[in-house]
Amino acid sequence: MAAPASFSWFRGEVHLDVLLGVVLLASAYTWATVASRRPAPLGAPVAFFAGCLTLLVALNGPLHDLSDYYLFSAHMVQHLVLTLVVAPLWLAGTPGWMLDALVARAARAPGVGAVLRWLTRPLPAFAAYGVALVAWHLPCPYNAALETHAWHVVEHLVLLGTALLGWWPILSRSERLPALPYAGQLLYLFVFGMPMTVVAAMVAGAEHVLYPYYAAAPRVVDLTPLADQQLGGVIMWVPAGIIPVVAFTVVFFRWAAAEWDDADDTA
């Protein structure tokens, strides 16, 4: 894919397919919420629409151009946003009744219900997320995605979809496919950052450029292709450690609050 003649922080490509997809998703969420006439805390739609807005920013404009044409490190920021920001915001913002309705509709097809029950269990969910994350950052599939736009779209859809599965045992509000108990969530979060840490170590520790596409890309900042690659690895490494710790802390205090409430009820 040919790079634009020049890069600007104040403009960038806008993908109509991304814009249309987000508008349709947000419209469906709004329609379902209004039609259900269920009281809902304000936090849920705020989280969901924040995820939609974050997706638009990540896949359009300056970040998109930097990611697709110039800098591996910018592309890693984009992937972090998809997997560690958009996916959890969407899942946290979707009420349990809405998830259950979607699951019930999907389960009408033979065998789909059993597949969904299996995929959202902790081990398969973590495995799907981890395998997708590592596999898509191997040189062959990664370079193919950079050279072919349709394959790049598939890459982002797979990363986003498997990230939703990865976060499911922590953030699901579904009664049909529930999240883990608090103790299980804490154990799960101990290993949640491992796949991204593996990718970060592979990228940052490489002694040569893994992705020829970026080796040939125009230089918009004073970074060699190898330094850009190493920076991308560090960018992945740090959030891979911090975000699970933040989630672990939130879950721990939720568990403590629930224990206190139970103690008050029995007192």
Question: Do 51 and 85 meet the contact criterion of CB atoms below 8 Å apart?
Answer: yes
Kindly report the length of the chain: 267
User: Which 3 state secondary structure label does DSSP give 121?
Assistant: coil
Residue 178: alpha-carbon gap to chain centroid: 19
Lowest mean pLDDT among 148-157, 202-211, 213-222: 213-222
pLDDT of 241 strictly over 90? no
Q: List, in sequence order, the alpha helices (H) in the chain.
A: 16-36, 43-59, 61-65, 72-81, 87-93, 96-106, 112-119, 122-136, 139-147, 149-171, 182-192, 194-205, 212-215, 225-266
**Mean of the per-residue pLDDT values of the chain:** 91
Question: Do 28 and 21 meet the contact criterion of CB atoms below 8 Å apart?
Answer: no
Q: What is the 3-state secondary structure (H, E, C) of 236-261?
A: HHHHHHHHHHHHHHHHHHHHHHHHHH
Q: Nearest Cα to 112, choosing from 122, 127, 102?
A: 102
- Region 61-77: what's the mean pLDDT? 92
Question: Do 133 and 195 meet the contact criterion of CB atoms below 8 Å apart?
Answer: yes
Question: Do 20 and 153 meet the contact criterion of CB atoms below 8 Å apart?
Answer: no
Q: What are the tens digits of pLDDT across the range 36-67?
A: 988 778 899 999 999 999 999 999 999 999 99
Question: Do 203 and 236 meet the contact criterion of CB atoms below 8 Å apart?
Answer: yes
- Region 250-263: what's the mean pLDDT? 85
Q: What are the tens digits of pLDDT across the range 146-205?
A: 989 899 999 999 999 999 999 999 999 999 999 999 999 999 999 999 999 999 999 999
Single-letter amino acid code for the residue at 179 = A
Handedness of CA 232, 170, 164, 93 (dihedral sign): negative
Distance CA 15, CA 87 (A): 20
Res 216: pLDDT: 87
